[in-house]
Amino acid sequence: MSRYLFVVPPLTGHINPTVSVGAELMSRGHAVAWVGHPGTLAPLLPAGALVFPALDDEVERRIQDARVQWLGLRGMAVLKFFWEEFLIPLGHAMVPGVTEAVSAFSPDVVVADQQALAGPLVASRLGIPWVTSASTPAELVRPLQTLPKVESWVVELLSSFAGSDIRFSPLLVLVFTSPSLVPGAFPPHYVFTGPALAGRPGGSFPWEWLTSGRRRVLVSLGTLNGAAGERFFGEVVSAVASLDVQVVMVAPPGAVSAPPNVLVASSVPQLDLMPHLDAVVSHGGHNTVCEALAHGLPLVVAPIRDDQPIIADQVVAAGAGIRLRYARVRADEIRTALLDVLDSPSYAAAARRVRDSFQAAGGAVTAADHLEAVVA
């Protein structure tokens, strides 16, 4: 039996892959624990999972407030704020809790999300092998390489925090996608596992609302962007009101006035819903995109910021969807794009090709195999 400690930020999309991998490791008899914000982790992990605190509610609230400020920025201010006001402060805030968790749990391997910088910092200090959980592949393609001064600035920030660029482990990087979406040459210790989707808790949903024989679409801007998406949701409602489709829209209460063919919910069991859908309208969040493609569903993607434009371009390059301009998109554009991905077989065929590549990659099973090899 080996001991694995997952270090995660208070971000659902970054925690989700570790849930599946952790469950797979536990099924093989290994000891597994998580360290992060207990309140964020609790609804995502299986009952009885071992959790160590690295952020209390007050610190987590300040971190999330910073995320809200970040959502209102544009241009290079987004990147500057993300690193200086979110990622680096989050790393500093988590170091004491991660250190205590390592002392209490004595892991053989630390598995750190790429945005949980305290994980590799503490592991390196204590001489413990550490692995990167790359919950989004955007940084793998060096998005700042055309801006060398900005890229150097990021590396300097990381060096000031940890002495070096610790985003990616020299031992093993688990990448939760496949080369079908992220083509290119990568070092051999970068393992493309495909998305790790098994073992996540479900949730309630009014399944009786879904009508047999009608096409169904999920609309979601993710857990962080939904509150700022009122205009977009309104355009979607106008786009679909006259269509013979059923739309499940994940949006805050009162965000839109919904016609009869639109169900608005503050949350849905997204993975459970995917097999019942025909398409997904998304902001380009890596988790939602991969969950859709893992079920062979084409996408309409309207990226907002961060890694989302890169993910959207990957979807378009794979032939599995259409990209729209989030800030300027209108109802007629959404309607045209949605009907295109629903009616044109090429999009669904491309989505199924990506799905097949995910299945061949192995998901949580492949990730667990390679994590076991780190200890062997």
Please count the CA atoms within 13 angstroms of the CA of 348 that sit on its side-chain side.
Answer: 11
Give the chain's mean pLDDT. Answer: 92
Domains in the chain, CATH or no CATH each = 3-171 (3.40.50.2000), 207-359 (3.40.50.2000)
Pick the closest to residue 255 from 282, 283, 233 (CA basis): 233
Distance CA 226, CA 268 (A): 13
Please report how the helices 331-343 and 230-240 are oriented relative to each other, as an axis angle in degrees rounded to 10. 60
**Res 191 pLDDT > 90:** yes
**Res 73 pLDDT > 80:** no
Are the C-beta atoms of residues 109 and 4 closer than 8 Å to each other? yes
CA distances from 169 to 127, 174, 298 (A): 13, 9, 33
**Res 83 pLDDT > 90:** no
Q: Tell me what pLDDT residue 294 has.
A: 97
- Average pLDDT of 124-140? 92
DSSP-derived 3-state class of residue 241? coil
User: What does the block give as tokens for 44?
Assistant: 């995502």
Distance CA 77, CA 36 (A): 27
Complete DSSP assignment for 321-335:
EEE--TTT--HHHHH
Pick the range with the lowest mean pLDDT from 22-31, 225-234, 301-310: 225-234
Are the C-beta atoms of residues 39 and 65 closer than 8 Å to each other? no
Under the banding of pLDDT at 50, 70 and 90, the label for residue 229 is confident
Q: Tell me what pLDDT residue 137 has.
A: 82
Distance CA 102, CA 77 (A): 35
- Average pLDDT of 81-94? 90
Q: Where are the beta strands (DSSP E) in the chain?
A: 3-7, 31-36, 50-53, 109-113, 130-134, 173-175, 190-192, 215-220, 245-250, 262-265, 279-282, 299-301, 321-323
State the chain's maximal CA–CA distance in angstroms: 61
Distance CA 128, CA 115 (A): 19
pLDDT: is 143 or 5 the higher one? 5
**Res 224 pLDDT > 70:** no
Angle subtended at Cα 351 by Cα 179 and Cα 284, rounded to the nearest 5 degrees: 75
Amino acid type, 85: E
C-alpha torsion 125→172→310→342, nearest 10:
-140
Amino acid type, 213: G
Please count the CA atoms within 13 angstroms of the CA of 85 that sit on its side-chain side.
Answer: 16
Please provide residue 216's backbone torsions phi and psi, each rounded to the nearest 5 degrees. Answer: -130, 140
Pick the closest to residue 351 from 365, 336, 341 (CA basis): 341
Q: What is the pLDDT of residues 329-351, one digit of tens each?
A: 999 999 999 999 999 999 999 99
Distance CA 37, CA 39 (A): 6
Complete DSSP assignment for 114-172:
TT-THHHHHHHHHT--EEEEES--GGGG-TTTT-HHHHHHHHHHHHHHHSS--SS-SS-
**Res 154 pLDDT > 60:** yes
**Res 74 pLDDT > 80:** no
Q: Tell me what pLDDT residue 210 has.
A: 94
DSSP-derived 3-state class of residue 43? coil
Under the banding of pLDDT at 50, 70 and 90, the label for residue 184 is confident
Q: Tell me what pLDDT residue 145 has.
A: 66
Q: Tell me what pLDDT residue 139 has.
A: 80
